[in-house]
Amino acid sequence: MGSPKKMEKQYFGTDGIRGHVGEYPITPDFMLKLGWAAGKVFARSGGLRSKILIGKDTRVSGYMFEAALEAGLASAGVDINMLGPMPTPAIAYLTRTFQAQAGIVISASHNAFQDNGIKFFAGDGTKLPDKTELAIEEYLGRDITTVASDQIGKVTRITDAAGRYIEYCKRTVPGDIVLQGLKIVVDCAHGSTYHIAANVFSELGASVKAIGVSPNGMNINQDCGSTSPQALVKAVLAEQADLGIAFDGDGDRVVMVDHLGNVVDGDELLYIIARDRQRRQIGFGGVVGTLMSNLGLELGLAALDVPFVRTDVGDRYVMEMLKKNSWQLGGESSGHIVCLDVTSTGDGIISALQVLAAMVQTGTSLRELRVRMTKMPQHMVNVRVTSKSAVMSNPDVLAAVAELEHKLAGRGRVLLRPSGTEPLIRVMVEGEDETAVAGHANALAEVVSASRG
């Protein structure tokens, strides 16, 4: 007999289920059934009641999907704890704290309000394994059945969820860390950190100016937050603040701004955290980045004798590699940073706190910490092609890549990456000279374009 064929997931992607509101499967009827299917998978036998937490970001559609999921879960006989607007990593933490069987996040992260999605956390606060997602999808193919009336799930609201999470965040840095004297601007992207982030930093002693804290259901991530830090740059300079911190709509990403208005991205923040862990002699094994991580991060860590490996783009792949190597630190240029020694998933607030702790304990500004890693100039060109696979195996393309890699001689990097959603090859070149890098990328893009198949 041959090996059983691996089942393909129909709905779950690398980061849950996501799409445009009103377009299948991001519809109320699908969410109703998804709640029921998840309830059936997580329902416990032997008379024990299962419990699932539901939280959301600030999108207007979240109310609609929250109600649909609640109804589906209740019909499967599962109790529900409602959290209201909460950061994605907070829901992971609270799922562990309340010993729930799972946590559900209604969010499309850094996307605009017209999108929404669903993420699941297992009982330990980590993302669901493939087998559990496949089990949920198997139930999605069945008809909904409702448990007996005396078994229907009950719904309660956790009223102190925000306070619990604030205290948890504060505990992830040493107890002697005091932010007294620091003036910080915090941009919450009109998202799920709007009622939490400023409190975390102010309760640790900082003077905080908060922006992006007036969600109306439709302004999430709109010209603000980690994906658009220009508003934060202006505010930091206007307030003459020591630094700024920007989150995305669901709070799992962070970028920072130094007192001169320079944006400090995820690669630089990850380097700062790793270097400080080393200074404090806290073992973390090594660092996991992605194919898009700046070469400066790799070279900076090498200078510290810190192992570094790359994986595919996506926090799921970063997490898989961390677990495989038993390492503690990983992340992406976008600001999705994972510190497994203090939490179970990417957390913007907690990542920012690790950087602030490094500043306070060393008496060093964010600018001084960031310049210790030299980012390499990076240039990317998108080339539209007919066949991505044909281009990626084309001898002329492979020869051009090999020649350029030889020319860069370990002080640069070449990456050809097929887009996962469009007929594009992304041509990226990094190196020490910005003008040369742009020239190399454009020349290689011409070879790719001529070989489009």
CA 17 from chain center: how many Å? 15
User: How many Cα atoms within 13 Å fall on the side-chain side of residue 125?
Assistant: 20
- CB 103 within 8 Å of CB 121: yes
Burial per residue of 134-161, b for 16 or more beta-carbon CB atoms within 10 angstroms, e otherwise: bbbbebbeeebeebeeeebbeeeebeeb
Spatial separation of the C-alpha atoms in residues 213 and 208, rounded to whole Å: 13
What does the DSSP 8-state code read for residue 216? -
The H-or-E segment that residue 34 falls in is helix 28-42
3-state secondary structure of 432: coil
Spatial separation of the C-alpha atoms in residues 158 and 81, rounded to whole Å: 6
Nearest Cα to Cα of residue 322 among 339, 297, 305, 299: 339
| Strands of 413-418's sheet in order across | 378-384, 424-430, 413-418
Beta strands, E only, 316-419: 329-331, 337-339, 378-384, 413-418
Spatial separation of the C-alpha atoms in residues 135 and 133, rounded to whole Å: 5
Spatial separation of the C-alpha atoms in residues 247 and 244, rounded to whole Å: 10
Catalytic residues: 109
